[in-house]
Amino acid sequence: MQAWAHLDPEPVLARARELDAVPPAARSALHGIPLGVKDIFDTYDMPTAYGSPIYIGHRPLADAASVAIARWRGALVFGKLVTTEFAAWPPGPTTNPHDATRTPGGSSSGPAAAVAAGMVPVAFATQTTGSIARPASFCGIVGYKPTHGMLPCAGVKAISETFDTVGVMTRTVEDAAFVVASLSGRALALPEQLPPPRLGICLTHEWGAAAPETVGLFDALPEVLARAGVRPVALMPPPSFAGLAEAQSRVWTFEIARCLADEYRRFPDLIREPLRSMLEEGTAMPLRDYEDSRSLVRKCQAELPRVFREVDVLVTPAAPGEAPELATTGDPIFNRAWSALGTPVVSVPAGTGPSELPLGVQIVGMPQQDARTLAGAAWVEAALDVHQDPGV
């Protein structure tokens, strides 16, 4: 499966012994919880290569802020997990734990596979386009991308100052809420009794990319959720949202060329395709195209209150379908708009497709309403678990 970019058991065991010696009264919220870290987060005591041959053997002097906070809260950092090159392309060596011929997704391939295989209960990941929600869907786990900026990006290799977001992968929504609450200080804990949310099923303007298994899933979903106690409403975003996926792509292409300007200038032969072509495109992109795309994103952000006026959260596809073959990390088409808008997103498992591989749905909320989004995701998670139909 090759989920790990770096794993050295001896330092982990030594640190575990130190944590065992801490008196119970002095233990923090994440005390002793094993944590995997995507290899674009700096770590002072482990190499950080960003998935690139340029940085083989690179040793940062400090932890990324999120890693440092996790250590302060008592987490036990197990090691570094595989990422695609600079959290973009091409794929790394990791395979899907459900089928070694399929991708685990990307760019958070190692985190998704390690959590799905039970190697660690939680892993740090990042999402710029679809790198948390899509791998979580492909691997049958929970992926939580908080509101943009909730967790610090300092010390994480930047590829888009506008969209880069730190999040987590776990086995349950409750675990995701607990970990991010512990790291951020936000009140995200789930209530003991989950109130039925106001759900909107949103096929999005990208629905034409849905595979037959996702079409079947969403055909059955209204009745499945109704039997659990909530009859969802059908919603479509405003027409302007139809341009968000393309706008997100243009903004990211422009910004990654700036973020990796030094690597592209000094080590072009060590940057592989298709990332090299993306950097060429971003370097040549007119500033006007970038600014127009940013303007569309801001316009759509201003329209979000109208989208959520009658619902608490949206249920949307997390990926086109089952995980594709290893040559690709899958299409992020259903994730781009929400990454552009900075909304909280929680991907939860939603059964399996025709190859018995996982499917997922994406729960989307309003920015800064992460507690409501997590509660809605936990309710959907429970509904799909209790009321699962064959093929759903």
Measured at the CA of 233, the angle between CA 230 and CA 239, to 5 degrees, comes to 150
How far CA 62 is from CA of 168, 194, 298, in Å, comes to 21, 40, 34
Select 4-240+298-386's CATH number: 3.90.1300.10, 3.90.1520.10, 3.40.50.1220, 3.20.20.120: 3.90.1300.10
Question: pLDDT tens-digit profile of 87-117?
Answer: 999 999 999 999 999 999 999 999 999 999 9
CB 282 within 8 A of CB 256: yes
Where is 345: in which H helix or E strand?
A: strand 345-352
Mean pLDDT, rounded, for 323-332: 97
Q: With contact defined as beta carbons under 8 Å apart, do 84 and 91 qualify?
A: yes
Q: Average per-residue pLDDT in the chain? A: 96
Q: What angle do CA 225, 331, 90 make, to 5 degrees?
A: 140
CA distance 307 to 297: 15
Angstrom distances, CA of residue 260 to CA of 52, 193, 285: 12, 47, 15
pTM of this prediction exceeds 0.85: yes
- Give domain limits for the chain: 4-240+298-386, 241-297
Report d(CA 170, CA 120) in Å as an integer.
9
Instruction: Please say if the pLDDT value at position 386 is more than 50.
Output: no
Q: Residue 390 has what pLDDT?
A: 35
Model confidence band, residue 385 (pLDDT cutoffs 50, 70, 90): confident
List phi, psi (to 5°) of 352: -135, 165
pLDDT in tens, 139-176: 999 999 999 999 999 999 999 999 999 999 999 999 99
Percent pLDDT > 90 in the chain is 98
Structure token digits, residue 184: 């951020």
